[in-house]
Structure 1
Amino acid sequence: MGNEQSLPYNPFLIHLSLKNTIGREPNEVIKASKEARGTQYILKTSSRKVYGQLIEMKQLINGTNVEITQHPTLNKTAGVIYDLDTKNLSTDLIMEGLKAQGVIEVRRITKKVSGIPTNTPLLVVYFEGSFLPEHVYLGMLRVNVRRYYSSPMQCYRCGRFGHGSKNCKDKEICLNCGTEHESTGEHSARDRTCTVFEAEKHLVNVKTDNNITFPEARALLKQNRTGNETYASTVNSRMNTYVDDKDRIIQLLRQEVESLKKATNSQPASDDRDTTIKKT
């Protein structure tokens, strides 16, 4: 939800506008978050009725014009399939064959061979909603579907991740030396072993697995990282206490053994004799 400019900085106004539109408490059926630097709201609902009401909403209650449209990525799930027989078939033909199975879009993965884009047997298939089926049928053949993880978006102007070069306002760098890249070191900004790339790739995977936005994925990662650090700290503290107690007990036992040895050595030697008792 948004318009060409920022939405009014008044969350209560938006809440009341949504309540007026759907005729009930919006927090019961809508989950909201922000994106695009706060200029847009993401509204999630599992109710088709509420979805229809939101799409028809054109203004907030103070007269601010808004447009509510279907989110371009959160309403579809991507999977990848592999099949040699379809390598040279058009995606339109494949789409026609898969449409009845809930596929809404098909994209071919290509690679460059001698500088020429060449088809691979890999296809990215998109399904409406968040459900990803385990398989599809290519004609009579059952083909497994694996979740598709897109590569992190990288700007080829500044080398940073999370945005494209079209709207980049940062300083342009050479991607071979990456002098302005965060954590470049001795490698190129395009090096896939870069720790920044790995972190961004993990972020993309978390976003995809949970069907959430990038800000939500970052918050989830931060929450998990904090929780893990707290858990590790607690475990370490308990282990240190256990080791200290163990060392203390061992020291006490050693002192007790030494005391018994000294007590034994200080007693005079005995002159024991065996005796027998019998009736006379």
Structure 2
Amino acid sequence: MATLEKQKGTPTPLNEGGVSGAPKNATMNPEKRILPRFWIVKKEEGDFFKDSPFAIYQQLFGFVGETKMIRKIKEGLLIETASAAQASRLESIKKLGQTPVTVTPHDKLNQSRGVITCRDLLNCTVEEIVEGMSSQNVIEARRIKTRRNGTLEDTASLILTFNKLTIPQKVKAGFHSLPVRLYIPDPIRCFKCQAFGHTTLRCNNAAVCACGKQPHEDVPCNTPFTCVNCKGDHSSRSKNCPTYKTEKAIQEIKTRENLPYHEAKKKVVIATPAQGVSYAETTTSTAKQSAGLYKEVASQLLPLVKEIVQRELEALRSVVMPPPRSRMIETPVVELKSAPIEKRKQSDRTPSPLGEESDSSQSSQKGKRGWPKGKPRKIHKVQDTDVDVNIDVVDQ
């Protein structure tokens, strides 16, 4: 660690400037430089493929601690740092063990690209646009062109490259506030062999025309066409090609999730198990099947529901409702019949076991007449009966 401290110092800015065509990680102000998250550690001689992963991990852990990711790639070791301090320590490494190494930021994974549209920017040069937006982490700008009448013309849209992992929602272009859309690039296709994944400069394959035949520059293409990639009956330039759709899906996942190409390709391959079916068709097939199932079930249930509703309505119409009747009647008056005189006298002679208390209670009960104060009269309800009660009270 002592050797590492001697090598450390003020990090030197990776690049200077900030105009179109400048190095990728250039910034206008070195003091506010954003340290990249993804780095490439490369041996000056050889590669890391035959080195032990345990030895690599222990050496890197001694310098920078625990990182988010370490992966062997063709260029060297791809490392994702967890913080700016860790990135600064990683940038200062000169040796791993006794092996000299160079540490550089990854040229693509630390950037993001977005699209803006403004016709007023047609009056500005690309250099002026980059300089005016450099404080918003814009390091490169490129116009989107279109072909009209055989010539390429500038459009009002520009592709901006930002020196950070995510694009902003909006950018300021002078007094304009412009929304930023995520830019998803088209798949890379070689114009020599028509295959995807590399350019003409790195192609070692034989030349093939887009129609699938031998090159014929002075003669127009004749049908039938044969796609070099999927062997279908269309040109290799066709955007309806299943291989093109798969490559487009790889680019979309790679851009949105900020993944290397091979990892994005693995995700697409897993999601596209059927041969000859594109990723886009696979992702939309489930939704289409569900929609078709819902329509089929609805078409079968709708006549049944209509029939049931019709039956219920007819049954309700056939029922004759009785006229409304009053359910409230007065409390009937019960006739009180007098007992024989002899029995009454005999009951009067019978002594009460309670003695005087019974006499007093009887007298108190006799004294209470009428309905108790503060207690409302109860009205008895008789359901579904019509009763006419005429009872006379017989006083004895």
Could you say if the C-alpha distance between residues 101 and 142 of structure 1 is closer, same or farther in structure 2, counting changes exceeding 3 Å?
same
Paired residue for 1:201, among 206, 228, 248?
A: 248
C-alpha deviation, 1:8, in angstroms: 4.1
Partner of 2:48: 7
State the alpha-carbon separation in 1 of the partners of residues 240 and 106 from structure 2.
32
Partner of 1:168: 203
- Residue 83 (structure 1) aligned to one of 108, 118, 122: 118
Once the two structures are superposed, residues 154-195 of structure 1 have per-residue CA deviations (whole angstroms, 9 ceiling, x without a partner) of 111221111112122223212222667121321111112111
Deviation by residue 1:6-51 (Cα, 9 ceiling, x = unmatched):
32422223212212322x3x3xx23123433xx4221111311111
Aligned to 2:108: 73
Gaps of 5+ in 2: 1-40, 214-225, 274-281, 287-396
Partner of 1:33: 71
Calculate the aligned-residue CA RMSD, in Å. Answer: 2.7
After TM superposition, give the deviation of residue 114 of structure 1 in Å: 3.9
Match of 2:229 in 1: 182
| Structure 2 counterpart of 1:112, one-letter code | R
In the alignment, residue 40 of structure 1 is paired with which amino acid? G
Instruction: Specify whether residues 127 and 81 from structure 1 end up closer, same or farther in structure 2 by C-alpha distance, changes over 3 A only.
Output: same
Structure-1-length-normalised TM-score: 0.72
Secondary structure of residue in 1 paired with 2:210: coil
- Report the number of matched residues: 225
The 5-angstrom pairing of residues 233-244 of structure 1 reads none
Identity %: 28
Matched residues in 2 for 1:143 and 1:52: separation? 34
Residue in structure 2 matched with residue 243 of structure 1 by the alignment: none
Q: CA–CA distance in 1 between the matches of 2:103 and 2:130?
A: 28
Q: What is the match of residue 157 of structure 1?
A: 192
The Cα shift of 1:115 comes to: 4.0
Residues 1:88 and 1:187: Cα distance change in structure 2 (over 3 Å): farther
Any idea what SS the aligned residue of 1:122 has? strand
SS at match of 1:87: helix
Q: Separation in 2 of the partners of 1:80 and 1:222?
A: 28
Structure 1 or 2, whichever has the larger Rg, is: 2
Equivalent pair of 1:88/1:119 in contact (CA under 8 Å): no
What is the distance in 2 between the residues matched to 1:148 and 1:136? 15
Pick from 46, 54, 58 the counterpart of residue 16 of structure 1.
58
Sort the Cα spacing of 1:185 and 1:86 in 2 relative to 1 into closer, same or farther, 3 A. same
Deviates more, 1:12-21 or 1:190-199: 12-21
Aligned residue for 1:55? 91
Asked if the contact 2:144–2:157 (Cα under 8 Å) also holds between the matched residues in 1, the reply is yes
Q: Would the aligned equivalents of 1:173 and 1:180 in 2 still touch at CA under 8 Å?
A: no
Distance in 1 (CA, whole Å) between partners of 2:69 and 2:144 is 34
Match of 2:239 among 186, 192, 196: 192
Given the alignment, which residue of 64, 81, 102 partners 1:45? 81
**Which ranges in structure 1 are unaligned for 5 or more consecutive residues?**
233-280
Quick one: distance in 2 between partners of 1:203 and 1:221? 6
